[in-house]
């Protein structure tokens, strides 16, 4: 029987991160949207204005009996550069800040443990770890964007996509 859990991951532009996470066995559903801002019902234009506090994120519903939170976090860190503040690759602005946003204390503790080890690998570390306060789904055209637009822009490299997919081979 499935044991579905939810976590919110902000990894720069949400198009590529959503595509990468969908490659993982056990990821049941993804929704791209805007997390932890200070206004109600933001749209893409408002989020890109650097005034709302929202980050582009992916809501991930996963079966914890198929994929561990640790493996999801490993995939996430394959796709991001934690040394970059308010951006990823050529994408800059507060909406591209990386972060992990949790719902429950058990997830918070597991993420904090993972983050402690990850911080040791980087000379600077800007990836946020916070409770999820609010999330609004992005406009329909953003959902599954790279599936609908296979040649669309993405800051995640083909090598990083392959590394994420390879996590499925691990037991």
Distance from C-alpha of 51 to C-alpha of 105, rounded to nearest angstrom: 29
Question: Using CA of residue 67, residue 72, residue 73, residue 77, what is the dihedral sign?
Answer: positive
> Rounded CA gap, 119 and 10, in Å?
17
Choose the catalytic residue: 13, 79, 111, 154: 13
Mapped onto helix, strand or coil, the DSSP state of residue 16 is helix
Return d(Cα 127, Cα 112) in angstroms, integer.
Answer: 12
* 13 catalytically annotated: yes
CA separation for the pair 1, 63 (Å, rounded): 9
Alpha-carbon span 58 to 106, nearest angstrom: 20
Catalytically annotated residues:
13
């Amino acid at each position: 029987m499935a044991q579905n859990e939810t976590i919110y991951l902000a990894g720069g532009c949400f198009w590529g991160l959503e595509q990468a996470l969908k490659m993982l066995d056990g990821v049941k559903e993804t929704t791209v949207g805007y997390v932890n801002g200070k206004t109600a019902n933001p749209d893409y234009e408002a989020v890109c204005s650097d005034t709302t506090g929202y980050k582009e994120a992916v809501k991930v519903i996963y079966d914890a009996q198929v994929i561990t939170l640790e493996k999801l976090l490993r995939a996430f860190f394959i796709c991001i550069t934690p040394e970059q503040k308010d951006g990823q690759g050529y994408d800059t602005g507060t909406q591209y800040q990386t972060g992990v946003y949790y719902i429950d204390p058990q997830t918070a503790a597991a993420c904090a443990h993972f983050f402690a080890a990850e911080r040791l690998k980087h000379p600077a570390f800007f990836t946020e770890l916070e409770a999820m306060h609010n999330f609004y789904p992005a406009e329909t055209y953003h959902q599954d964007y790279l599936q609908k637009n296979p040649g669309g822009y993405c800051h995640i490299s083909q090598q990083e996509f392959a590394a994420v997919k390879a996590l499925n081979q691990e037991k």
